[in-house]
Amino acid sequence: MRSVGILGGMGPEATILLMQKVLGAVTAQDDADHLPLIVHQNPQVPSRIKALLEGGGEDPGPVLAAMAQDLERAGAQALAMPCNTAHHYADAVREASGLPFLDMLELTAAHLAALGAKRIGMLASPATRRVGVFDRVFAAHGLSPVWTGDEDEMLAIIRAVKAGEPMAPLGPRLRGLADAMAGADHWLVACTELSLMTGALEGGPGWTDSLDCLVAGVAEFGFA
């Protein structure tokens, strides 16, 4: 098995959820059957929302680059980052380390294309739309994003998760945004804060969580 270094803390609960999902992806009889993860849980990564939406925030790129180097020194054999918006800075991570980078965006787009999805309802931070985080990989796979008409509400839900507010009232609000995205043939959970409430999406047109796509990529690399 090969170890994967996780650039985490964006947010902390999402990183823990990734670890839980990686555990769940393995049929284990003993501890040694599980994949080795080296996790850099760094909640001090500068806010992507402040940097990309509000302007004037500190650039997260140098911090992410330093984290990648820390993980390489610690013995990681590949890198993964469970934050969709932070993939705007993926080149800084790649350039800082010679390790393979398990790109959550590419893994997700390939999965959606294999499903036959075309118009993707984006349950994502408004920052991902603002800077076109998914534009290149979606175009390469023939996918078109459908964005919410109420970005303030989407951002409010994400901020509420980060603040530790109860999930029960947030799920129906997320579902309301999803239902309002006319023309979408598939929903994509493209913010790992929202990965904590995917139960609210049951009964819709079908949905994919980008975090699950990253988990599959981590498992494939680890067991290769």
Known catalytic residues are: 83, 191
| Helices 151-162 and 170-179, axial angle in degrees (round to 10) | 150
Length of the chain: 224
- Asked whether the beta carbons of 2 and 222 are under 8 A apart, the reply is yes
Separation between Cα atoms, residue 76 and residue 36, nearest integer Å: 9
Say if residues 94 and 78 touch (Cβ distance below 8 Å).
no
Contacts by residues 31-35 (CB-CB < 8 Å, ≥ 24 positions apart)? 35/1, 35/3, 35/4, 35/218, 35/219, 35/222, 35/223
Got the DSSP string for 39-50? EEE-TTSPPHHI
The answer to whether 193 and 161 are in contact (CB under 8 A) is yes
193 within 8 A of 43, measured Cβ to Cβ: no
